[in-house]
Chains A and B, each alone.
Chain A
Amino acid sequence: MADAAFLALTVITIGSAIAALELRSLIYGSIALMGTLGGIAGFFFLLDSPFVALFQLAVYVGSIAVLILFTVMLVKRELIFKKIEDKRRKFAGIGLMLVVMVTLGAVFLDSGIKTITTDEPPVDFRDIGTDFVTYYWPALILMGLILAGSVTGALVLAKREDVENDQRTS
């Protein structure tokens, strides 16, 4: 049963990742990116990590994907549908992608990873919560500060309208 679910999730995740980069419209591309992020959340469910899966759904599919969609909508209509890429560079990029996939795939298939199986029960999400407040608490506080700083910085950056005319190219 898990195998069929795994294959379906693989097709959805990889297919929508390619679609996110290759679809002509940026809006459909962002919706396809939501498919990839949702597919990864599905993998987390398969890996018995429902806490991370729900976090992924809430943060990525719920907020980041919507943020991306709104940013895309702020861009001029012709830019949303314009594909900017070089043919020769595209072939080089496909070659690079295949080299990375084949090399890393061969390394993984040749390593001892294939023999790793587990009968252990999944990690309880209470353990993760305990880890957060005991072992990782300085990192948790730092992460909160980074999030607050970056969101404030993003708001300040996006709010600025004092761009000089000579800074514009067109």
Chain B
Amino acid sequence: MTSELVDFTLVSVALLGIGIYGLAVKRNFIRMLFAVEIIINAANLNLVAFGRFLPHSGGQTLALFSIAIAAAEVAVGLSLIIVAYRMYQNIDIADFRSLKG
């Protein structure tokens, strides 16, 4: 393997930046979910990369847990989008004012 640990961390930093940009700028509920997915994947990449270079199985195990929990989060997020869309006929989060506590 010729790529170094720092290469993988820089890719994950780039993905984290793109995800933060998506969360800060977009008001579309579905696109914000995309941004969350990108951030979670950046974290998983870091976990597996560190697990490979500091040889330990913990990195991969935690990444597997993280992927499974992200799957649960996406399922709930998408069903919330469907419910909110049914109520407001829109996917703009600025319209979801009555969801405030």
Contacts and interface: CB of A to CB of B under 8 A. Distances in A.
Interface residues of B, number: 78
Contacts of A59: 67-68, 71
A13 B53 contact: no
Contacts, number: 255
Interface in A3-40: 3, 6, 10, 13-14, 17-18, 20-21, 26, 29-30, 33, 36-37, 40
Interface in B1-37: 1-11, 13-22, 24-28, 30-31, 33-35, 37
A109 B5 CA distance: 11
Interface in A58-89: 59-60, 63-64, 67-68, 71-72, 74-76, 79, 83-86, 89
Given A52-B48, A128-B60, A143-B68, A108 B9 contact: yes
A26 B76 contact: no
A101 B13 contact: yes
A113 B7 CA distance: 10
Contacts of B75: 67, 150-151, 154
A3 to B, nearest CB: 5
Nearest to A146: B72
Main secondary structure on A side of the interface with B: helix
Contact of A93 (B24, B86, B91): B24
Contacts of A85: 25-28
A154 B41 CA distance: 22
B52 A17 contact: no
Given A71-B78, A85-B26, A167-B98, A114 B88 contact: no
A139 interface: yes
A10 B45 CA distance: 12
B34 A21 contact: yes
Interface of A: 1-3, 6, 10, 13-14, 17-18, 20-21, 26, 29-30, 33, 36-37, 40, 43-44, 46-49, 51-52, 55-56, 59-60, 63-64, 67-68, 71-72, 74-76, 79, 83-86, 89-90, 92-94, 96-98, 100-101, 104-105, 108-109, 113-114, 116-118, 120-123, 127-128, 131-132, 136, 139, 143, 146-147, 150-151, 153-155, 157-158, 160-161, 163, 167-170
Interface of B: 1-11, 13-22, 24-28, 30-31, 33-35, 37-38, 41, 44-45, 48-49, 51-58, 60-61, 63-65, 67-76, 78-83, 85-92, 94-95, 98
Q: Identify the 9 closest CB pairs spanning chains A and B, nearest first.
A: A93-B25, A150-B72, A97-B21, A154-B79, A101-B17, A120-B55, A93-B24, A158-B79, A157-B79
